[in-house]
Structure 1
Amino acid sequence: MLLVADVGNTNVVFALFAKAQAEGGTPDIKARWRIATDPRRTGDEYAVWLLQLLAIEGYAREDITRIMIGSVVPRSLHNLTVLSQKYFGVEPMIAGEGGAAWPISIDVDEPRSLGADRALNAIAAHRKYEGDLIVIDFGTATTIDAVDFNGAYKGGIIAPGITLSLDALVGNTAKLPRIAIRKPDSDSVIGRNTEDQMQVGVFWGYVALIEGLIERMRREIGRPVKVVATGGLAILFDEHTSMFDAVDSDLTIEGLAILAGNAAT
């Protein structure tokens, strides 16, 4: 079986696949687990947590024959490599390196600077959806990426994630309270108290940012485009905008499985 680890700035998502995904088809996820990202977490600490979760799902460490890691946090790679080698007896593949080099064209000024998560999203989105694509990922940062009909990564946008924006707003003001990220109770954009005004600014302000940037990107591409959303808050925003053609929460980890399949061929 294939174990993948998607290391983001906020969380590490582990997922288990029956096999790496070669050409065609959709990767089959057997289980997934999430833990807060901490570059100091050792391979031993990961093992205590992960081996128990595997056992709960009915799997043994011997079932894991391949491991693929995609990371935007370089300091985490060493400890995840130790986890792979020491507890599974497997040399991990690192997304974007060696035999797991990107199988797509990265048509930007500095290809090596592209985050692994964005390349993986492009790989999976091109496999699953036809034509030109815009992929929006709601993570610690919100990224909006253009992928052409050949699967080439053409560039994109990086904006502060909504949680990051809210943290900055609350952390740098003396009297504003912390609020939940949700749609305001009223459809009015004229708040009647401080919390309502913050909800309007954070939620509808972010919807306006998404819609405005996607519309500008559509015009620049100049061809019909599908918009695919992923990340934790994609479902929330999908309920209140018509900009998304698909919401695909597993896009990044499926990209890892597809990349592992390419590496095996």
Structure 2
Amino acid sequence: MLIALDVGNSHVKVGGFNGDDLQFVASIETDDRQTGEQYACALKDVFGLYGVMLSEIHGAVLCSVVPGMHPIMSKALRFLTNGPILNVSSGVKTGLNIKIDQPRALGSDLVANAVWAMHTGQTPCVVVDMGTVTTFTAIDRDGVLVGTAIAAGVRIMLDAVKRSAAQLPIVQLEAPAHGVIGKNTVEAIKAGAVYGAAAMIDGMLARYADAFGAAPHVFLTGGASEAIAPYLQTEAELDPYITLRGLYLIWKKNRG
């Protein structure tokens, strides 16, 4: 089994691949104050929950948007497998044609997303990743990664509302019962979060269509994607685990 780790600002997504099959996905909190030993224990518990024996793990691939987490997670994985550990960074084969000002500065999670998008052969396309931040990765009809955009994530917006307005309550990320017309404070916050995020994404995708001269294929992924997907007016292919799938393809390109 291959273990894929997508280390985000808030959570680490853990995926287990048996061949091409993504057999399980789990999530643990990102905390760069923890040690490699602590994360090794957390990962071992995850594997135990899904019935994975350490002897089954033949290697691991990881990407991280938190620089301090690279050595921590690499050390953790060393306790759990004798197989190779691939960190997605400059020098790793991806097969991507990247034409931006600083290709080496492109987030490794966005690289993994683009690798999966290219693998599907559906271009032009935009990968919308709804994590701590919402990112847009644009690939033109020739398969060139031509640029990205970054916006505040919907959960950041909810946190900011709570911090800035003490009287407003904490709410779940879900659509309100009465749609976009909230009937009370809780519904109003939910309406702003869900429909506001969907409208922002729809608006951005309309601008990408103008830039490409054609409507792009849209991939929607990330932790908040399932909550927002039903309220988009733009057709999108939902898969919360595109980053993990892209990591698996990068492993295959580099390790066969």
Normalised by the size of structure 2, how large is the TM-score?
0.92
Answer 1 or 2: higher relative contact order, Cα 8 Å, separation at least 6. Answer: 1
**Partner letter of residue 209 of structure 2?**
R
1:92 and 2:85 matched: yes
1:16 corresponds in structure 2 to 16
Aligned with 1:201 (options 157, 178, 192) = 192
**Partner letter of residue 237 of structure 2?**
A
User: CA distance change for structure 1 residues 200 and 59 in 2, over 3 Å: closer, same or farther?
Assistant: closer
Aligned with 1:259 (options 232, 239, 250) = 250
Q: Which runs of 5+ in 1 are unaligned?
A: 20-26
Aligned with 1:125 (options 114, 117, 120) = 117
When structure 1 is superposed on structure 2, of 174-183 and 71-80 the one drifting more is: 174-183
1:169 corresponds in structure 2 to 161
Cα distance, 1:252 vs structure 2: 0.3
The answer as to whether partners of 1:40 and 1:76 remain within 8 angstroms in 2 is no
Cα distance, 1:249 vs structure 2: 1.3
User: CA distance change for structure 1 residues 28 and 180 in 2, over 3 Å: closer, same or farther?
Assistant: same
Aligned with 1:61 (options 44, 54, 60) = 54
**Partner letter of residue 152 of structure 1?**
V
- Secondary structure of the 1:211 match is helix
User: CA distance change for structure 1 residues 88 and 198 in 2, over 3 Å: closer, same or farther?
Assistant: same
Cα distance, 1:232 vs structure 2: 2.0
- Secondary structure of the 1:239 match is helix
Distance 1:66 1:80 in 2: 13
Distance 2:76 2:187 in 1: 46
Identical columns (%): 29
Normalised by the size of structure 1, how large is the TM-score?
0.89
Distance 2:115 2:214 in 1: 20
* Superposition pairs of residues 156-195 of structure 1, within 5 angstroms: 156-189=148-181, 191-195=182-186
Distance 2:105 2:183 in 1: 44
Cα distance, 1:260 vs structure 2: 0.3
Distance 1:158 1:238 in 2: 18
Cα distance, 1:121 vs structure 2: 0.5
Cα distance, 1:248 vs structure 2: 1.1
Deviation string, structure 1 residues 39-67 (Cα, Å, up to 9, x no partner): 12222112222223323433321221221
Cα distance, 1:174 vs structure 2: 2.7
1:231 corresponds in structure 2 to 222
- Secondary structure of the 2:219 match is strand
**Partner letter of residue 15 of structure 2?**
A
Distance 1:172 1:225 in 2: 37
1:83 corresponds in structure 2 to 76
Distance 2:199 2:50 in 1: 42
1:106 corresponds in structure 2 to 98
Q: Which runs of 5+ in 2 are unaligned?
A: none
User: CA distance change for structure 1 residues 261 and 196 in 2, over 3 Å: closer, same or farther?
Assistant: same
Cα distance, 1:164 vs structure 2: 0.2
Distance 1:250 1:64 in 2: 20
1:3 and 2:12 matched: no
1:38 corresponds in structure 2 to 31
Distance 1:142 1:211 in 2: 13
RMSD (Å), alpha carbons = 1.8
1:210 corresponds in structure 2 to 201
Deviation string, structure 1 residues 39-97 (Cα, Å, up to 9, x no partner): 12222112222223323433321221221111111101111111222331234111124
